[in-house]
Every structure is written in C-alpha cells, then in structure tokens.
Amino acid sequence: MNTINDSQQAMMQRMTTMQTAAQQPLFASQQQNNTQNTSFESVFHAALNGVDSHQQNAANLATQIETGASDDLTGAMIASQKASLSFSALTQVRNKLMTAYDEVMKMPL
C-alpha cells in the first residue's frame, strides 16, 4: 500500500512541476499575457503526455530488445516498470478525482 501512496505523491509532485513549467512563457512576447492562465486541464494534459511518453519509451526499448538492436534488458525492464507505475499513479489520481466529484454532486443545495 505504501508504494501506491508514494507513487501518488510522486505524480502530484510531477504535476506541480509541470504546472510551474507551464506557467513559463515560451516566447518573450507571451510574457505580459501569461498571468495565471494555467488551468487544471493543461496540468492534467501534461501528466497524460508524461505517462504516454513513458509507455512509448518502454515499447520502443522492448522492440529494440526483441529485434536484437539492443541488449539493454535492464534498461527496458526499468522503463517498463516506470510506465506501469506512472499509469497506476495516474489511475489512482483519476479515481480520487472521481470520488471527490461524486461527493460534491451528492451535496445538498
């Protein structure tokens, strides 16, 4: 059970880091227009993209192992575990959000 809580904490820290990074303007012309317009949607989308990149990296490394292009089995297994853990953490965050949403919807007016 501690692994899930640790992974949830790690995912939340990554989401906070992504939110901070998303607030940084890409171009100098955006500097004056970027005043707290980072939304939860953009942070969650960044987290989804991070999980997707972990899964794609793991798939690429597994393909390289299977085709004989690489012999780094340890790296492929670590990448696979990272992808699995990040997906599990994202699923847990989603479940917590859905539980919170359900509780809010059940509140009396």
pLDDT for 7 equals 67
57 in Cβ contact with 79 (< 8 Å): yes
Q: What is the DSSP code string of the chain?
A: -HHHHHHHHHHHHHHHHHHHHHHS-SSGGGTTT-SS---HHHHHHHHHHHHHHHHHHHHHHHHHHHHTS---HHHHHHHHHHHHHHHHHHHHHHHHHHHHHHHHHTS--
**Residue 29 CA to its chain's centroid (Å):** 29
Label residue 89 exposed, middle or buried (CB < 10 Å: 0-12, 13-18, 19+): buried
Model-level pTM? 0.60
The proportion of the chain whose per-residue pLDDT surpasses 70, expressed as a percent, equals: 74
| pLDDT tens readout for residues 7-53 | 677 777 776 776 665 555 544 444 444 545 688 888 889 999 999 99
Instruction: Give the angle subtended at the CA of 20 by the CAs of 92 and 13, to the nearest 5°.
Output: 30
Report the mean per-residue pLDDT for the chain: 81
Question: Which residue did the predictor score with more confidence, 2 or 24?
Answer: 24
